[in-house]
Amino acid sequence: MINIIDRYIAKVFLGYFFAGLIVFVTLFITIDVLTNIIRFGAPTDVIINYYSNYIFEVVYQMTPVACLIGTVFTLSELNKTNELVALFSSGMSLARVSAPILALVVLISLVSFWMGDRLLPTIIKKKNYIYFVEIEKKPGLYSTIKTNKIWYRSKNILFNIQTLQVEKKEAQGISLYYFDQNWDLRQMIFADKTQMKGSEWTLKDGSVTLFSEETGAPMTQAFTSKKVIMNEEVSDLQASAGSSSILSLKDLRKFIKKNKEAGLETLQYEVDYHSKFSFAFAAFVMSFLGIPFTVTRGRSGGFALNAGLCVGLAFVYWTFYSSGITLGKYGAISPILATWVPNISILGLSFGLLVRLRR
């Protein structure tokens, strides 16, 4: 049952949580603006529009750290003012004192999960559109994956890619349509597979169809391997496509299923799929990790020490988590293990420290 103590602890936690979130988001956005503002060279209103969308992604990424800050600073304040000792003397355990904090963290995690699945994909698409179309002035590089197709235009070339595997620099099912200045179709190239090395693409197992201006009759010739040179803009296509961040869980699941049925590699997307779930627990895991470290420090230290503790714990967690994701994407361990073992390991470590603390 919620009592006045729970409300007090929750109020202190929310104060530090929102303060930490505002500080970290502001610092991140400020550094990003100062780093890119000269390179962008875009109008102020476009820059503002870009970051007004980007800020949602930053908030999503910084939420676990803000939860850790709220937990560490709340318990540190209770410890420093002897309120924690008073609560223990009244019969409340550390678990009971931490209950309102962890309950709020779970609620925040659920909101964050909803935001990442339902809100962010649409916002990231809009942010990417502003970046590639209005800032970089390369509208062709803006592409979205609604099912498994990418359409792209570069000057008088229009082409379609069925599936783009960014890590392997490979594409499957590519069709290129070449037009003249009057937009009359002059050449078509189809290929089952394509190896991309910068601006040099090697097409395999395909055909070339030429349309003659004199006769108008198409001439088709098959090939086993053919190299084409694309312009610099097209060579950067891989940077703008294949991102799982623009897909909801439902769309990503369909995307993985369709590519598996086609016999294509889906390992990266499977890791991304499971990481959407495991990342939702990051706030809880980091907050839980902060509890034993905060309580064991007694009443020593101030703001700087607490901030340093938060940075250190966040670094430990992200080292474990990013290492697991990397191992999963390289196929060293299964996608499920890659995304969940770091969380389980950190929770196990935290629980062990709490048990030792009670002794």
- pLDDT of 335: 93
Residues shown for the chain? 359
Give the side-chain half-sphere CA count within 13 A for 133: 12
Structure-model confidence comparison of residues 118 and 256, the more confident one:
118
Structure-model confidence comparison of residues 156 and 204, the more confident one:
204
Residue among 337, 357, 356 at smallest CA distance from 345:
337
Q: Give the Cβ contact number of residue 107 at 10 Å.
A: 10
Structure tokens belonging to residue 258 = 């369709």
The model's pTM: 0.74
Contact call for residues 292 and 350 (beta carbons, < 8 A):
yes
Average pLDDT value for residue range 49-71: 94
209's enclosing H/E stretch is: strand 200-211
- pLDDT of 2: 62
Residue type at position 64: P
- What are the φ and ψ backbone dihedral angles of 167, each rounded to 5 degrees? -60, -40
Give Cα 73 to chain centroid, integer Å.
27
Q: In angstroms, rounded to a whole number, what is the distance separating the alpha carbons of residues 357 and 359?
A: 5
Contact call for residues 270 and 325 (beta carbons, < 8 A):
no
Structure tokens belonging to residue 336 = 């499920």
The DSSP secondary-structure symbol of 148 reads S
Contact call for residues 132 and 141 (beta carbons, < 8 A):
yes
Give the pLDDT band (50/70/90) at residue 268.
confident
Is residue 283 scored above 70 in pLDDT? yes
Is residue 253 scored above 60 in pLDDT? yes
Average pLDDT value for residue range 313-339: 90
88's enclosing H/E stretch is: helix 83-89
- Cα torsion 117, 122, 126, 128 to 10°: value is 40
Q: What is the pLDDT of the chain when averaged over all its residues?
A: 83
Contacts of 16 (CB under 8 A, 6+ apart): 69, 70, 73, 74
Q: In angstroms, rounded to a whole number, what is the distance separating the alpha carbons of residues 271 and 265?
A: 12
Q: Give the Cβ contact number of residue 236 at 10 Å.
A: 17
Highest mean pLDDT among 158-167, 216-225, 256-265, 269-278: 269-278
Contacts of 151 (CB under 8 A, 6+ apart): 143, 158, 159, 160
Average pLDDT value for residue range 300-323: 78
